[in-house]
Every structure is written in structure tokens, then in C-alpha cells.
Amino acid sequence: MAYSMTGYGRGENIYESRRYTVEIKSVNSRYCDVNIRLPRIFNFADSAIRKTLSDRLVRGKIDMFINYEDTNSEGTEVVVNEGLTIAYSEAVKKIASITGREDDLGSSRLASYQDVIIVRQADADEDRLMEELMSTVNMAIDGMLEMRKAEGNNLAADIMGKIASLEELRNEIEKIAPSVVEDYRQRLSDRIDALLVDEKREFYDESRLAAEVAVFADKCCIDEEMKRLISHFAQAKKILSSEGTVGKKMDFLVQEINREINTTGSKANDIEITNRVLRMKNLVEEIREQIQNLV
């Protein structure tokens, strides 16, 4: 079963006063490249989240966004930075003394100064938060996998259609191939007839013609390439129908298919075969582009 690397997933869970929202999106990448944006309270969970993403999604450039809200005031702690507050107050008193102005710094204004009041999460139960967060993370991953699967199936079906077209062209080439040698023999014989007058033609050694044709037949023989293409096409269908990652396997196999097609084109020495080889190369290039999006 083929999976695309492109996808989106979202998970949302509410536990008492705690609300978790996780969004994931991914695009093509040769590796598993993970970027996570999460609240500071969940820094302890970063490595566990990354491992889950790499284990379940395998490949792709993955961006994850985690939002967390706790409406229970007991979960929030407001702390006064006493040392900094005193330092600000003493500094304002000194400014008032130096300038001869009134010290009119009120507590409300003092509280607005940077870092005087610090809002932070109270000590939390990390085990409970981890369990709740990972449940939401896996929910988002499940949604992404569904999208990846649907797109992957569409890609696999399209690639299967292109492989079927390649098989048809291969079969056409196989039918044409035997006539290439006979056409060459006939053209060579006709040329000899045109060059030699009648009285000299009867002294021409026909074994030389046969030897030349035999050499040509050996050079343009594509039987092995045709057999290997049959094997490669069957293997491609098997890979696309299998579970797990298929992108890298298909990438290697497409290189092998392309190599056999190129060899066929260079050996065949026939315009009809060349035309079909060009069409096959176009199909292979289209397949190559599509498998870049498969996990």
C-alpha cells in the first residue's frame, strides 16, 4: 500500500480544564525532517514526539504545531520578582532625588515594568501531561496517514497505468525486433546487387554476406533487455502493492528500467523501435517524478 509524503492531520482533545490542539503538515523530503513548535511547558516531551513522528511517518518534511490551554487558574502561577521590583523602586527614588522631582511611581506602573511580574505554569504532573499530549499527537498522525494513504493510492494507480503502457510498448518492440535483422540482410543484399554487375555477382561469396548479417544480429540483439524489462515491470507492481515504504525501492527500480530502455534504443538500430523507446523514456520520466512523493 503506497503512501504519499504530502498530507495534513489535526487532533484535538479536552481533559477537564486542559485543551490540546495538534496540527501536522508534511511535504516531500528525502529524509524525515521534523520541526516542532510547542509551548515551553512541553519541552520535556520533544524527543518523544520526534521519535513518534519518525516511526509512524518515516519520511517527509514535517511541521507540527502544538497549542495548549488550561482554564483552571490553579494551573497558573503569578510570581513577583522581588529583587527587580526593589531595584526599580530605588532607581526611581534616586532619579527623583537628583532632579528634585516628586517620586510618583505607583505600584500599578511599577508592575508594568518588564519582568517585574512573571506568569508561569505551576508544577505539573508530567506523566499525565505526556499521556494526554501523545494521545492528541497520535490522533493528528492518524488523520495525516489517512490523507497520505488516499493520495498514495491515487499515485500508485496512475503509476500502474503507466507501467501497463510500458508493457504494451515493450511487447510491440519484441514483435518488431526479429524483422530488424531480416531488413538489414535485404538492404545489404540489394546494395551488393546494385554495386556488382551480373557477371561479378555470381562470383560473390554469400558466406561474407551471412557473416556480416550475423555480426549485425549479435550487435542489435535485445532479447536480454526484453526479458529484464518483464521482470522489472512485475517487480514494480509487487512493490506498489506491498505494505510499508515503497519510494526508495521504486526509485532504484526505475533507474534499472531506464537503463534497459536506453540499451534497447542504442542496440536496436531501427526507427520503429526508436520511436517506441522515446515514448517509454517519457513514461519513465513521468513515473520518476511521481515516486518522489511516495514514502
| pLDDT given for residue 184 in this prediction | 53
How far is Cα 10 from Cα 26, in angstroms, rounded to an integer?
Answer: 12
Helix axes 247-268, 126-195, angle to 10 degrees: 10
| pLDDT, one tens digit for every residue, the chain (295 residues) | 789 999 999 999 999 889 999 999 999 998 899 999 999 889 999 999 999 999 999 999 999 999 999 887 666 677 888 888 888 888 888 888 888 788 777 788 888 888 888 766 666 678 999 999 999 999 999 999 999 999 999 999 999 999 999 999 999 999 988 877 566 565 656 665 566 655 555 555 566 656 665 565 557 778 889 999 999 999 999 999 988 889 999 999 999 999 999 999 888 778 899 999 999 999 999 999 999 999 9
| pLDDT given for residue 102 in this prediction | 80
How far is Cα 241 from Cα 18, in angstroms, rounded to an integer?
Answer: 42
Instruction: Give all strands of the β-sheet with 7-15 in edge-to-edge order.
Output: 7-15, 18-27, 60-70, 32-37
| pLDDT given for residue 214 in this prediction | 58
Q: How far is CA 190 from CA 44, 47, 181, 208, in A?
A: 84, 77, 14, 14
**Per-residue exposure over 246-271, b if at least 16 CB sit within 10 Å of its own CB, e if not:** bbebbeebbeebbebbeebbebbebe
Amino acid symbol at 75: G
Strand-pair partners of 9:
24
* 156 CA to centre of own chain: 14
C-alpha cell at 212: 556480416
Task: Please tell me the pTM assigned to this model.
Answer: 0.72
Would the CA dihedral through 238, 240, 245, 248 be positive or negative? positive
81 close to 116: Cβ distance less than 8 angstroms = yes
